[in-house]
Structure 1
């Protein structure tokens, strides 16, 4: 058995060996969010299995009973279902790598008894009136730190629901005339966003004016050079951004929850209510497929169908009443 075959055989014996190989490849491909997800999953399963010295043999990990025990352990630790799903889907990806779907070794029903779905995030969307409140608040003399985070939030919305990670990573070179041309961090798809007239004043005020700086907005530290360092810096910025958004919401709209995802989901749902084609919304958001966009919008489609049904019933009942009156 040569060295490569020995390595592959070792990966098939222990979860940590297999996942560390995947993590190294993801790092080489500069897929830092995926690196973070795989590391978090490995560290979590290692704690579940007894700590740093746990061997975690593959044939013991990928058993229905063990996976269910892990799911229960995660919930007892207070994790929400979406977090549980992230860990389970990561383990499922590892399993499918080890045992190719369709092969004799693969069990297609192994993960049927654990949670691998993604709950809809559409509850994070604001309505038109709430967005108008935030637009008005941007001119209301808020404290500078709150004002800044609000402007970033509004720019994300005005830039067609730009994710916070993409806003952070924007480079000065991405600004081409009155457009921002960049590649989505998650999918690598190129996006071209024209800076709306309504965003010009805020954009000019809060863009990075420091000479020699790389970034379009002063969010990430210039000191971070390596990909993993930059991503760690982004993670810190994200936590800080969400804390500040919570503070901003408490001042502007008490009782309303706002997070870094809200601007993106709000843009998508308001665009849908405006009658914009789902394909156009998908392209604007830079989604990998229309299916992803439909996940955002499904509850709103159901609401619109229910509303149409109510209008139809009212119309039929009115016709019946008019006929009886005659």
Structure 2
């Protein structure tokens, strides 16, 4: 695997990137793709989102895993891309993920060599978006997750279970306390973990579909006067969310003193270390949501479902598309339509039915009098 020496430094509220003089010019022939990509991404980091740079790096690592060696920029051609696409398919990579890799590589090559035309190189590989399984769930299914009754046979978990702290019992001896602590945590930890995932899911939904990465990185300092103000990790868009009662209950449940973050998801304040920790916690969160879906008989639950569901339910409740788009931090309503395309088709059918209903009524009247 090719390791990039390129690094992005990140600090809360401001992004800054180290500048250094390029060590090689990629205008020369026979230059390797990894070396040229490093220089291109270093330059792009000053004007592109970190998520875009991450996409470029991921796509390039995938390509070099296929070639098993660093290759020259001029060796990237149609045959190589076709073989790479077949390799991805054999490894079970979805068409949309494969398309994302192809688009990222194409954009990266344009930055490396702006004068080159790569249309032919990517002509025969898939670079579109394939319609995927609907991620949203219905409003009634969201309501079924409300903590009116607990998930475990109606038995309520003690408050300390959410923080893995045992209930103090002054009458217990020290040795018995330790045994009790281990037993109690072992018994409740799995239950509490699933309920914690449920609470995060509900908070995300109530916070206008807040992505899990933004929820994980929320800081206490971002809570002011009954509102949460933050910037999306992906786009940098500023979002302001009013803290509703259910959200406040969840915040109170997981409140910790001497903590940098609002929720006990991350422990590292250093951005790069925290990002690694986040990747692990996101995987665990999705596994727990899978368990929650089975427990509640829901079709599926992932970290994306809360966001897609909020957009779809808002649209079905006649919230205007521009408002939904702004609430979700989208720069364009076209992005928002990806979340609600199926409902949008249904709305079009209803609109057409309303438009032609007078014509159909007149036809029925004519037939009745004929």
* TM-score normalised by L of structure 1: 0.86
Q: How many residues align?
A: 310
Partner of 1:216: 262
Displacement after TM superposition at 1:13 (Å): 2.3
Please give the residue correspondences for 1:185-200 in structure 2 after superposition, counting only pairs within 5 Å: 185-200=233-248
Partner of 2:276: 232
Runs of at least 5 residues in structure 2 that lack an aligned partner in the other structure = 1-20, 152-190
Displacement after TM superposition at 1:120 (Å): 4.6
Quick check: which one's helix share is greater? 1
Runs of at least 5 residues in structure 1 that lack an aligned partner in the other structure = none
- Structure 2 CA distance for aligned equivalents of residues 302 and 150 of structure 1: 30
- Structure 1 CA distance for aligned equivalents of residues 132 and 202 of structure 2: 19
- Structure 2 CA distance for aligned equivalents of residues 258 and 117 of structure 1: 26
> Over alpha carbons, which structure has the higher Rg?
2
Cα RMSD, aligned residues only:
2.6
Kindly tell me: are residues 107 and 7 of structure 1, through their superposed partners in 2, closer, same or farther at Cα, counting changes over 3 Å?
Answer: closer
- Structure 2 CA distance for aligned equivalents of residues 120 and 280 of structure 1: 24
Displacement after TM superposition at 1:310 (Å): 4.5
- Structure 2 CA distance for aligned equivalents of residues 235 and 297 of structure 1: 27
The one of 48, 64, 68 equivalent to 2:82 is 68
- Structure 2 CA distance for aligned equivalents of residues 253 and 26 of structure 1: 46
Displacement after TM superposition at 1:22 (Å): 4.3
Kindly tell me: are residues 221 and 125 of structure 1, through their superposed partners in 2, closer, same or farther at Cα, counting changes over 3 Å?
Answer: same
Partner of 2:349: 306
- Structure 1 CA distance for aligned equivalents of residues 71 and 40 of structure 2: 16
Moved over 6 A (4+): 26-30
Q: Deviations over 1:56-107 (max 9, x none)?
A: 111111x12211111111011100112101211110111111232xx4x324
The one of 116, 125, 128 equivalent to 2:127 is 116
Displacement after TM superposition at 1:154 (Å): 0.5
Q: Deviations over 1:237-264 (max 9, x none)?
A: 110010000000000124x111111111
Contact 1:164 1:260 in 2 (8 A): yes
Please give the residue correspondences for 1:121-160 in structure 2 after superposition, counting only pairs within 5 Å: 123-135=134-146, 138-142=147-151, 143-160=191-208
* TM-score normalised by L of structure 2: 0.76
